[in-house]
Amino acid sequence: MVELAEDYEKLAAAFGALAHPLRLSLIASILEGTLCVQDLGETLDRSQPNISQHLAVLRERGLVTPERQGKRVCYRLTDERLAQVIRLAAECCE
């Protein structure tokens, strides 16, 4: 159980990052594994700069981690438990 005020601040910041529909779509897209910025842009029909801006917010909150694959930058979930959080939240909103 989260008990300290600063823990709630971090939790609120993480949920704040997930509150944007595109960022939530990005997380949902990489639930199953690492995807590169270009692939995410094509999947979500958004420009690379737009995808990169939103990934930066998720990265700052510690939700995704970048990995270089040659010239490409790909992202994965920092903690696989985030997939559970997203799936449970989706079930609650059905």
> Whole-model pTM above 0.95?
no
The answer, yes or no, to whether residue 31 has pLDDT greater than 60, is: yes
Boundaries of domain holding 58: 5-92
pLDDT at 93: 86
CA distance 12 to 9: 5
Encode pLDDT of 37-55 as tens digits: 999 999 999 999 999 999 9
What band does 5 get if pLDDT is binned at 50, 70 and 90? Answer: low
pLDDT at 1: 55
The answer, yes or no, to whether residue 32 has pLDDT greater than 90, is: no
Higher-pLDDT residue of 57 and 5 is: 57
Question: Domain total for the chain?
Answer: 1
Backbone angles phi, psi at 35, to 5 degrees: -135, 145
- Between helix 5-18 and helix 48-60 the angle, nearest 10°, is 170
CATH code of the domain in which 76 resides: 1.10.10.10
Rounded alpha-carbon distances, angstroms, from residue 34 to 3, 9, 13, 29, 60: 32, 28, 23, 9, 18
